[in-house]
Amino acid sequence: MIEKAFNGDRNYWGWIVFLLVIISAGIYSYINQLTTGLTLTGMGRDVSWGVYIAQFTFLVGVAASAVMVVLPYYLHDYKAFGKIVIIGEFLAVTATIMCLLFILVDLGRPDRILNVMLYPTPNSMLFWDATVLTGYLLLNIVSGWTVLGAERKGVQPPKWVKPVIYLSIPWAVSIHTVTAFLYAGLPGRHLWLTAVLAPRFLASAFAAGPAILILVSFILKKTTGFDAGKQAINKLAVIVTYAAIINFFLLGMEFFTAFYSNIPSHMHGLQYLFFGLHGKGQLVPWMRVSMIVGLGSLVVLLIPKLRTSSKWLIMACIGIVVSIWIDKGVGLIIGGFVPSPLEEIVGYMPTLGEVSITFGIWAIGILLLTLLLKIAAAVKTQD
């Protein structure tokens, strides 16, 4: 099947070359970081995780969200998702690979990464996260590839793949839950120390992930002629709407608990992010954009007439993705470190090299997704 990825028009190859250029720049920056150290990033003693771990968190959500098409299709036999389910699975595969890459580039000693497996430590959430992510990657590669291969030959997929697919459903929930546990179980990081962190992660994932899926479907339709179907898109839009409502509801819970209880340490993180603390509020504009764009998109999604119009739907999906990307990919991680355990406010600004590595990994993911979807679209449109 792989040969189908090498069969494209001029635009296709131009796109591939464009991605390769960004990847090369990222690799160059990463080599710099390897030789000089993570001092080349904007991270420091107080904000010790930055844009890498933030992207990781966002992308685990994207990976997990494949379950929103896999579950209705395989468990409830919801036929309308028949064409889109492979896009979901391949999106999960690429997002998971990007997650692992973001962890790798964040390590001070990547040469020792195998220590996580050589000295397994069940009480460490990071150990479990690495384990469930690798497992999820395998589950999705196996199920996606097998089902697509069978379709190409025009036969039923082998029976053994069903249990693999079923297993991937709770597994998807587990990857994002464990990722939330990375943060939610740490004493002294009040923004993270909340029982609704895992539910909120899942809600935001099930909003942003399917929104990305909708956008990818529109791009595929335009570039390859592969149409996931109007009914599937509409259903996904409903899923995005509900998930976004739950996400903002849970965010509201955070505000209530922190501010009604009036416990300073519980308020500090949210104050810093949304209003500024002690006159410092580096992320305030970001978080406000996230709120406004997110709620605005939600309003669009809530109106059936707008939701079913492609133009409005695309804009709303972009809005939801941007809003949740800022929330998870910018605010959540930085907000957990500010103020520091010693109540100090230290800013964080990613450096050019850091941004270049980040773009590089995104480009690797998008390249991989392009190739996988090229194959999928070729298989699906040939009959």
List binders of other proteins among 257-296 (CB under 8 A).
Answer: 265
Angle at 150 between CA 148 and CA 154, to 5 degrees: 115
Binding mask 223-262 for other proteins (x = CB under 8 A): ----------------------------------------
- Kindly tell me which residue out of 39, 156, 261, 381 binds other proteins, with binding defined by CB under 8 A: 39
Q: How far is the CB of 67 from other proteins (least distance, A)?
A: 13
CB 224 within 8 A of CB 234: no
Q: How far is the CB of 239 from other proteins (least distance, A)?
A: 20
Binding mask 323-342 for other proteins (x = CB under 8 A): -------------xx--xxx
Comparison of 84 and 125: residue with beta carbon closer to other proteins: 125
Stretch that binds other proteins, among 116-124, 241-249, 295-303, 352-360 (CB under 8 A): 116-124
Residues 6+ apart with CB under 8 A from 290: 322, 323, 324, 326, 327, 330, 331
Q: How far is the CB of 371 from other proteins (least distance, A)?
A: 25
List binders of other proteins among 157-196 (CB under 8 A).
Answer: 162-163, 166-167, 169-170, 182-183, 185-189
List binders of other proteins among 61-100 (CB under 8 A).
Answer: 74-77
Comparison of 68 and 301: residue with beta carbon closer to other proteins: 68
Residues 6+ apart with CB under 8 A from 325: 58, 208
Q: How far is the CB of 115 from other proteins (least distance, A)?
A: 4
Q: How far is the CB of 233 from other proteins (least distance, A)?
A: 24
Comparison of 75 and 302: residue with beta carbon closer to other proteins: 75
Stretch that binds other proteins, among 105-113, 304-312, 313-321, 353-361 (CB under 8 A): 105-113
Q: How far is the CB of 315 from other proteins (least distance, A)?
A: 36
> Dihedral of CA 186/191/197/201: which sign?
negative
Torsion of Cα atoms, 32 then 38 then 44 then 50, to 10°: 90
- Kindly tell me which residue out of 2, 3, 119, 153 binds other proteins, with binding defined by CB under 8 A: 119
- Kindly tell me which residue out of 89, 106, 327, 354 binds other proteins, with binding defined by CB under 8 A: 106
Q: How far is the CB of 189 from other proteins (least distance, A)?
A: 7
d(CA 47, CA 333): 9
- Kindly tell me which residue out of 13, 20, 31, 112 binds other proteins, with binding defined by CB under 8 A: 112
List binders of other proteins among 341-360 (CB under 8 A).
Answer: 341-344, 346
Q: State yes or no: residue 49 binds other proteins (CB under 8 A).
A: yes
Q: State yes or no: residue 364 binds other proteins (CB under 8 A).
A: no
CA-to-CA separations, 296 to 209, 300, 320, 356, in angstroms, rounded: 18, 7, 9, 31
Comparison of 73 and 226: residue with beta carbon closer to other proteins: 73
Q: How far is the CB of 314 from other proteins (least distance, A)?
A: 34
**Nearest by Cα to 4 from 371, 383, 381:** 371
Comparison of 40 and 322: residue with beta carbon closer to other proteins: 40
State the residues that interact with other proteins by CB under 8 A: 36-39, 43-46, 48-49, 74-77, 103, 106-110, 112-113, 115-116, 118-127, 130, 162-163, 166-167, 169-170, 182-183, 185-189, 265, 336-337, 340-344, 346
